Amino acid sequence: MSPCFDPDYPFREVTRDPTDYYLRKGEAPGRWTSEGARALGLAGEVSPAALRALFCGKHPSTGEYLATARGSSARATARASEGHVDVAAAAARLDRPVAAVRTLLRSGELAGDRRMSGWRISNEAIDAFLDGRPQPPAPGRLPLPDADGAYALADAARIAGVHRSYLARLVAKGAPETTVHDDGRPVQYLIGTQAADKRWRVAADELDRFIAGRVSARVVPAYDLAVRPPKSVSILHALGGLIPASELAAHGLPNDIPGEVLAAHHVAVAEAVAALERHAAWIRGKGGRVQATGLVIAAFDHRSSRMGDPLLHTHLVVANVARGTDGRTAAVDGTALYAWVRTAGHLYQARLRAELSARLGVVFEQPHNGLADIVGIPRKVIECFSQRRRQRDALLARLGRSSPAAAQAAVLASRPAKGTHPHQSPEQLAKRAAVVGFTPSDLVHDVLGRGRALPVSVERIAQVAGELASPAGLTAQASRVDLRDAICGFANSLPEGATAQQIESWATRLLHHGGRFFPVLGTRRRRGDHIRRGDGRMVAAGGLAGEPPSASKRRPGPP
Give one DSSP letter per residue of 319-365, joined into a string. ES-EEBTTS-EE-B-HHHHHHHHHHHHHHHHHHHHHHHHHHH---B-
Other CB atoms within 10 Å distance of the CB of residue 359? 19
Inter-residue contact 533 to 401 (CB < 8 Å): no
pLDDT confidence of residue 502: 95
The dihedral through the CA atoms of 210, 213, 216, 217 has a sign that is: negative
Say whether 462 sits in a helix, a strand or coil: helix
pLDDT confidence of residue 539: 40
Residue-by-residue pLDDT tens, the chain, 559 positions: 787 877 777 777 777 777 666 666 778 888 999 988 998 888 999 888 888 888 877 888 777 777 655 545 445 555 555 667 788 888 888 889 988 998 888 788 898 877 655 677 888 889 889 988 898 876 666 678 888 899 999 888 888 877 788 889 889 999 888 887 765 678 889 999 998 888 999 999 998 888 877 766 667 888 999 999 999 999 999 999 999 999 999 999 999 999 999 999 999 999 999 999 999 999 887 767 888 999 999 999 988 887 788 899 999 999 988 888 888 888 888 888 999 999 999 999 999 999 999 999 999 999 999 999 999 999 999 998 887 666 666 666 776 776 666 666 555 555 555 554 567 888 999 999 999 999 999 999 999 998 877 888 999 999 999 999 888 888 888 778 889 999 999 999 999 999 999 999 999 999 888 777 777 765 445 544 444 333 333 344 443 333 334 556 655 555 5
Rounded CA gap, 442 and 436, in Å? Answer: 12
Residue 306: which of 426, 430, 421 has the closest Cα?
Answer: 421
The vertex-257 CA angle with 341 and 33, nearest 5°, equals 35
pLDDT confidence of residue 386: 82
pLDDT confidence of residue 549: 43
- DSSP per-residue string spanning 160-199: HTS-HHHHHHHEESS--S-SB-TTSPBPP-EE-EE-TTS-
Q: Note the helical H segments in 149-296.
A: 153-160, 164-170, 204-213, 231-239, 245-250, 257-279
Other CB atoms within 10 Å distance of the CB of residue 320? 25
Rounded CA gap, 237 and 481, in Å? Answer: 37
Name the pTM for this structure.
Answer: 0.73
Inter-residue contact 241 to 251 (CB < 8 Å): no
| Number of separate helices (H) and strands (E) present in the chain | 22, 22
pLDDT confidence of residue 350: 96
Inter-residue contact 351 to 498 (CB < 8 Å): yes
Chain centroid offset of residue 171 CA = 33
* Rg (alpha carbons) of the chain, rounded to whole number: 28
Chain centroid offset of residue 441 CA = 38
Inter-residue contact 360 to 497 (CB < 8 Å): no
